[in-house]
Structure 1
Amino acid sequence: MTKAIQQIMLGTVTKNEKQAAESLKRIKAAGYDGIELNGFMIKPTSFLVRMLTKAAGMPVGKGGNYDWNALVKEAGLVVTSIHEDLGTIKREPETIIREAEKFGTKYVVITGMYRFDYSDKNAVLGLCQDLNASGKILKEAGVELLYHNHNCEFLKVEPGKTAYDLILSETDASCVNFELDSYWPAEAGVNVLELMRKLDTRMKLYHINDRGTRLSKPAMTPILKSDSMELGYGNMDLVSMVTQAQKVKVDAVILESHKNWVDNSPLKSMELSAEFMNQYIR
């Protein structure tokens, strides 16, 4: 399986093209094989998008004008996949197909929708229809559409059924599959291993993170909020999760965290996580 980094980690260490090249080479040296790109980080985006991502703790940097294809190749990495938004895929499927071909990846990934009500069953059913339609168009061009979750998909649409359950049952497995992020269902109180077994071979990519607590200053109270941690330093049963991912032969395990890094450094953080990745992922 390919060991990769999600590009969202790199916004603060890709402030210019030279720094981007150095960061990618450091990722390769740590033992990673690939990178998952984001559409809004590899091409010019609006000021609003940049401000929204920064406000969410995910600064995207100024890499929209860089030659990411050359940067990735020079570092000796591969592109595992590209994150894009559903609106763009619906409006410009040919552009997205060309983008995937350019970077040599077969996976385009949609993340949880901004300002979307995952407790509204009809809205979720509409989303499933859109996913199936877009997935069919991409499939005809040899590109696979995956859905990436956060925690909002685990809202109930009816007693005993979550939005994620509905997305799993109402999407066509020949056109739509999944990139599971195990951190978010854990945050939502979901049994992650059970969920992974339910997805089975529909899980094509696996986003990995650990969940725990790091104090950056003395606590006002003994009640601590959980947050992302380097792999193996939190409280998730990542070994069992990686074992399940290997069982269903996912194509890549992709590290993603975007805050709470050791020494506030995404590069030091990914190097610590690489110790786990290099030990358990073959």
Structure 2
Amino acid sequence: MLTRRQFLARSALLGGAAWLAAGSPGRLFAAAAQKPLGIQLYMVLKAYQDEPMGTLKTLKSIGYSEIEAIVTTTAQTLRDQLKEAGLACPSMHFDSLGIDPGIEAAHVLGTQYIVSSMLPEIMAKMKGGKGEATYTLDDAKRTAAYANQIGEKAKQAGLQYAYHNHHKEFTEVGQGQTYYDVLLKETDPQLVKFELDCGWVHAGGKNPVDYFNANPGRIPLMHAKDFLPSPAPNEYPGAELGRGTVDYKPIMAAADRAGLKHCFVEQEGPFSRVSQLEAARIDYAYLRPLR
């Protein structure tokens, strides 16, 4: 099974240069649940593709009230399935679609947040490369400027844009800053929010608590993710929450103080110890008391 990053990289790079085409305004949708706990649909993608309704209803029965979408069929199909299962969809990742189709899908699904997780790779492709991103100070500034443009486009469509990280954003770029620090500094706080993937922050050698404490109001979304100890450089085997290297008790406390709105469980593969849905059960049981 491809990692989510590999999956998105293969699809997102196809349409990167068309991201800033004109879009149409839409409505702003807000999730009504208080302190909801959600899951990224990609985590259970194989189960979902094998049995869509059974998987979504199982997630609901576990206790999840929200999913963060990726669209692998059509937005209309996913919307109807979520409605039948009783699951809300406040956020979606649009890398595999592109910005304009992503905005259209967000309006169909009724999401508030539209999120990119492959922006450095998209920009590398737009510069004529093969999508191999670099993480220098200049790269960070260019990415921030582009994120502001996407954020403005999302705002005009009645949506909120958010940037999702991986571990390489915590590369040092000089003057005591990381690439991610520059993104926070150089983006408009109203146009660009952040979805902090806490597992990847940890893998990048930083503490998610520090980012929540330093940026109240900027991080309305997060991914709760864990990894086993790395067996080799650049290998990050996924783990069920509570069975890896990340302690989420202080992270969740800091996130709530910083104004977190939505928390989505996401686990990287391989799912060799337990199935995707069993991992979802374990993750929920660990995180729900902290949320």
- Contact 1:147 1:177 (C-alpha < 8 Å) held by counterparts: yes
- Is the aligned partner of 1:77 residue 2:77? no
- Is the aligned partner of 1:23 residue 2:55? yes
- Is the aligned partner of 1:275 residue 2:275? no
What's the offset of the Cα at 1:116?
Answer: 4.7
SS at match of 1:206: strand
Q: Which runs of 5+ in 2 are unaligned?
A: 1-34, 122-130
Give the aligned partner of residue 183 of structure 1.
199
Spell out, residue by residue over 1:45-69, the C-alpha distance to the aligned partner (whole angstroms, 9 max, x if none): xxxxxxxxxxxxxxxxxxx9x8111
After TM superposition, the score normalised by the length of structure 2 is 0.77
SS at match of 2:68: strand
What's the offset of the Cα at 1:270?
Answer: 0.5
Separation (CA, whole Å) in 1 of partners of 2:209 and 2:106: 30
What's the offset of the Cα at 1:141?
Answer: 2.4
Separation (CA, whole Å) in 2 of partners of 1:139 and 1:119: 27
Spell out, residue by residue over 1:18-37, the C-alpha distance to the aligned partner (whole angstroms, 9 max, x if none): x1100110100011001111
Give the aligned partner of residue 249 of structure 2.
239
What's the offset of the Cα at 1:226?
Answer: 5.8
Give the aligned partner of residue 171 of structure 1.
187
Give the aligned partner of residue 22 of structure 2.
none
Separation (CA, whole Å) in 1 of partners of 2:156 and 2:150: 10
**Structure 2 letter corresponding to 1:12:** K
- Contact 1:151 1:185 (C-alpha < 8 Å) held by counterparts: yes
**Structure 1 letter corresponding to 2:66:** G
**Structure 2 letter corresponding to 1:208:** A
Give the aligned partner of residue 5 of structure 1.
39
Seen in structure 2, the aligned counterparts of structure 1 residues 260 and 127 have a Cα distance that, compared at 3 Å, is: same
Give the aligned partner of residue 51 of structure 1.
none
Identity of aligned pairs, percent?
A: 27
Separation (CA, whole Å) in 1 of partners of 2:221 and 2:160: 11
SS at match of 2:217: helix
1:54-93 alignment to 2 at 5 Å? 67-85=77-95, 88-89=98-99, 92=100
Give the aligned partner of residue 124 of structure 2.
none
Separation (CA, whole Å) in 2 of partners of 1:84 and 1:124: 21
Spell out, residue by residue over 1:217-254, the C-alpha distance to the aligned partner (whole angstroms, 9 max, x if none): xxxx9x9x763221222231201111111112311110
**Structure 1 letter corresponding to 2:290:** Y
Spell out, residue by residue over 1:111-152, the C-alpha distance to the aligned partner (whole angstroms, 9 max, x if none): 133335342322221211111111112112220000000011
Counterpart pick for 1:160 among 142, 159, 176: 176
Seen in structure 2, the aligned counterparts of structure 1 residues 194 and 141 have a Cα distance that, compared at 3 Å, is: same
Q: Which runs of 5+ in 1 are unaligned?
A: 44-63, 215-220
- Contact 1:8 1:258 (C-alpha < 8 Å) held by counterparts: no
